[in-house]
Structure 1
Amino acid sequence: SVIAADGMLYFYEEKQGNIALVQPDRTRLKVVSTFQMKDGQGPHWAHPSIYNKHLLVRHGNVLNIYSLKGE
């Protein structure tokens, strides 16, 4: 799944739950950071959402919320 906000892309990979913050460019995609969604069970099929500068990612019966606010 892919979602966009503030000129950035957020990729959520379905096999192992890797999440990547990606800066798009005309010539390439620059991976800024990555982490793995480890909480929850089952396939990583839910589509992430962004609300009020927060990334919401569900995996099974677990909902994790990550702040997207910069310093």
Structure 2
Amino acid sequence: MAQCPQCYTGTCRRHVRQDHGRSVAQPADAKATFNKMYDLLVGSKLKKLQQEADLDSATREAAAFREQLDAAR
């Protein structure tokens, strides 16, 4: 058991090599690693752009509905 409380929780900066091999562990699947990196870097931006596009389409639909109501009056 670790004597340092930060080592025990895995947040110690003084004893950096007491991570039970997590820092040198090789990933099991390179393709999964690249997919995860893609999701983190690109996927979030794509999701944000998709939400903005959905919001824009909703705004356009609302404007068309308002024009239709004005024309009906």
> Which TM-score bucket, shorter chain as reference?
under 0.3
Using the size of structure 1 for normalisation, the TM-score is 0.15
* Largest Rg, 1 or 2: 2
Task: Pick the structure with more helix per residue.
Answer: 2
TM-score by length of 2: 0.15
Higher relative contact order (CA 8 A, sep 6+): 1
